[in-house]
Amino acid sequence: MFHEAFHADRWAGAFFAVSGENADAVFLCLKALTPQVKSVRGVFFGHGAAAKLEKVLRDSAGAVGVTDQSAEYAIRFLCLMVEKKCIRHIDSLLARIDQMLDERKGILDVSVESAVALNSDIENELAKAIKERTGAADIKMKTSVRPELLAGYLLRIGGYYVDASLKGQVESMTRDLGGR
């Protein structure tokens, strides 16, 4: 059986084409309404399902006081995803849209894995240094602790990767000396 691949970039492109300058507000509405779609059980595809979903989403949007044009775009977008049988990919699409919004604003996603928890001063210094070196408007930093690094850190900025961990240095020296 042939399954068509989901193209998050195409859907994200459609999202931006429709939402235009209101992309941030529409994205917030989309995120707020997505749990309503996920809460529905059973088969959920096609035009009939999309029409039923539209009513549920309009009621939900009204209940939380979101009735502007942004909510309208978000409702129509979710219904289109249901109609086109792509709703199961909503989480990956939301992540891609969020990433593209950040790129438009000059915000970098940074991931720091360290052997020990970083204190807020070190996080702030690191964010400041990255902003200065990259020219980014802002930084979204995610930190995690990985004791197996022994000391130091792993840093990911988009596609750029820095391994400044003791474990990485030991592995590099082992390779250089011909060991495995």
Residue 179 has pLDDT above 70, yes or no: no
Strand partners, 154: 113, 163
pLDDT value of residue 145: 93
Calculate mean pLDDT across residues 96-111. 91
Please give the sequence-ordered ranges of beta strands (E in DSSP) within the chain, or none if there are none: 107-114, 138-145, 152-157, 160-165
pLDDT value of residue 1: 45
128-172 pLDDT, tens per residue? 998 998 889 999 999 999 998 888 888 898 778 888 888 888 888
What are the residue boundaries of the structural domains of the chain, listed by start? 8-102, 106-176
Residue 2 has pLDDT above 50, yes or no: no
